[in-house]
Amino acid sequence: MNSNGVVEWAVVESDIGPLLLAATDAGLVSVVFHARPEVREKAVGQLRSRLGAEPVESPGSARLAEPIRQLAAYFAGSLREFSLDLDWSLTSGFNRQVLRKLAAGVPYGAVVGYGGLAEHVGQPGAAQAVGAAMGSNPLPVVVPCHRVVESDGGLGGFGGGLETKRKLLALEGVLPQPLF
């Protein structure tokens, strides 16, 4: 049983579809894209097994109020940098190191290549491992894995789907907003 006790979660609407947000005493622990009922059920099950606590649906949760407010401001274009307490317990080792470096070092409106991020954490040549770390990011949007792209200009992969990645980069002015 982990010491965080309760995990509270809620689903909020966003410009990229419904997001499931979950928080522990330590902070925001999970952001899940496309949080339709079947995705939601799977996400809650994963939180239960990985955190050893029973997730409680709590839309009015005080813990979730600030993440919800900051995400709404981000999608409205008025927030460029999140200042949230994060609970990193769903990631560890190299992945956690890479994600922390990404959160601290790649600002709004900027992008970095997988290889460049690997160099940043002192592991040049670990571009594929960086890709895997991005794929396992438990805190997308807030920990901006959408800002990691291929060196040839390709978007690279994205857990939320390329359309979602495109929308986030367009919101930040990195890509032109799609016309349609």
Positions annotated as catalytic residues are: 145
DSSP-based three-state secondary structure for 157: coil
User: What is the residue whose two structure tokens read 């999970």?
Assistant: 30
Contact assessment for residue 15 and residue 77, using Cβ atoms and an 8 Å cutoff: no
Taking the C-alpha atoms of residue 159 and residue 174, their distance in angstroms, rounded to an integer, is 19
Tokens in use for 53? 């606590």
Question: CA-to-CA distance for 142 and 80, rounded, in angstroms?
Answer: 10
Angstrom distance (rounded) from CA 63 to CA 65: 6
Cα–Cα distances in Å, from 162 out to 154, 159, 167?
Answer: 11, 8, 9
State the DSSP H helix or E strand holding residue 19, giving kind and residue range, or none if neither: strand 19-24
